[in-house]
Structure 1
Amino acid sequence: MLARWMVLLLLMTGTNLPAQEYFKTQYAGVWQRHLDYSKAVAEAMPEANYDFRPAEGAMSFQEQFLHIVDNISMLTALLTGSRQEFYQKSAATGFKKDEVLRVLSHANAHVLDLIHHATDSLLNEEITFRGVPMSKQNIFYLLRDHQAHHRAQCLVYLRMKGVAAPGYVGW
């Protein structure tokens, strides 16, 4: 009986197995819903309004999504050791809506592929990002949080232009 309690106590302390189990069984689905929602928001804005910015100095609707892609490029480099560029920045000023959707989909698919192939050793690897020690698993959560932040700004842009926003998708 004492041995069972010792094993239970060991499992409850000093392990991140529940977090890894969640990541392996749930996070790909979470990311898929997340990227589908971002795509729906990007698709909702008419192409004529892709240059809309609510104030001087604010990013345009298009720039918000390209910023998301740039962040994916930067953060996934922390995971893989090499930076993948999803578009040429010098060509981005003339991007049409379908080109923005293409690079956004490509970048989000790259993250989904990394999620599917993440090993325990990768997820547990400790790094320091902007002075904060964390595991590489946390980078995946940071990717989602950053995109949600800028997607929310785009939802406001839609409403400012009188465009119906897609219904909320979470979890």
Structure 2
Amino acid sequence: MTTKSAHCPRCGAPLATHPPTTCTSCGYALFVNARPTASLLVLDGPLAPEVRFLALRRAMEPKAGLWETPGGFCDGWEHPRDAALREGREELGVDVELGDFVGMYIGEYDFQGEVLPVLDCFYLAWLPADRIEIDPAESLEYSWFSLVNAPPMAFSTMDRALVDAAARLTLSTLGQ
């Protein structure tokens, strides 16, 4: 994964290589750091016989038309947990009840012709009521799917988080 930057963002001099690199003109060290995101694995109930999760059909690129979990990029200085709560309000129109942290996953996101590294943080969550008002600018529809038989998701980190969440919930129901 690379960035388009072939010039130093500080002095504008050409860079010898893609980041990570140091500008030979001004000494600026340039890195490509993963952008943090926060996502929700909204479950239909912690003790349901077949645990289902909420998925949204993406309305915009990248990956328009594919299923995803609610979530998005963290704002500067925003903790992923706070971003997860904010994304729940923005994308579902409700204040979700946040549960355990599932994990962090390195992935990628196509943005403005660049492939950006992302650090996706996933949390279990539940709805306080059975009312969802999706943002039509971001999602075309929503549906509930089996956690153990999930459809392919828009981003590979979502697939991995769903597998880990299913394993965690299976272990917890078995009392381990």
Asked if Structure 1 and Structure 2 have the same fold, meaning a TM-score greater than 0.5 normalized by the shorter chain, the answer is: no
Bin the TM-score by the shorter chain. under 0.3
Return the structure number with greater relative CO, CA threshold 8 A, min gap 6. 1
Query: Which of the pair is proportionally richer in strand?
Result: 2
Query: Which of the pair is proportionally richer in helix?
Result: 1
